[in-house]
Amino acid sequence: QLHLVESGGDSVQPGGSLRLSCGASGVNLDYFSIGWFRQAPGKEREGVSCISSNDGTIYYADSVKGRFTVSRDSAENTVYLQMKNLKPEDTGVYFCAADPPLSITSVQDMCARGIYDYWGQGTQVTVAS
């Protein structure tokens, strides 16, 4: 099965920036829809940003819109989540997820429901003074 690996999590002060990476070996991630999710202690997992493999449509949760940017680097077979102006509320374990290009579900719905076949192990992001 597809093995996803996230990296880039760290502890930063409010207002700081981080760039998370999601990579895989042996599979071209350009063929997959990719989602970024996070889970804070005591809270439900939530979709942060998701990008469709079908048409490149990108969805951002309202809480991160204007601060987070998701992008693909095909040469590196990597998907990035650039996070700026981080807030304490952004703290949590961040996961990337992948789904093959067979679904006709909207990227917004996939992000809301977390309907992805493959998941990484997560990387910790902590935002505190």
Write the pLDDT tens digit of every residue in 25-35: 888 999 999 99
**Structure tokens that stand for 29 in this block:** 């991630």
Q: Average pLDDT in the 90-117 region?
A: 91
Q: Average pLDDT in the 33-58 region?
A: 93
Query: So what's the pLDDT on residue 75?
Result: 93
CA distance 75 to 128: 34
**Structure tokens that stand for 56 in this block:** 């490149």
Residue 36 pLDDT class (50, 70, 90 cuts): very high
User: What are the backbone angles phi and psi of residue 28, rounded to the nearest 5°?
Assistant: -80, 110
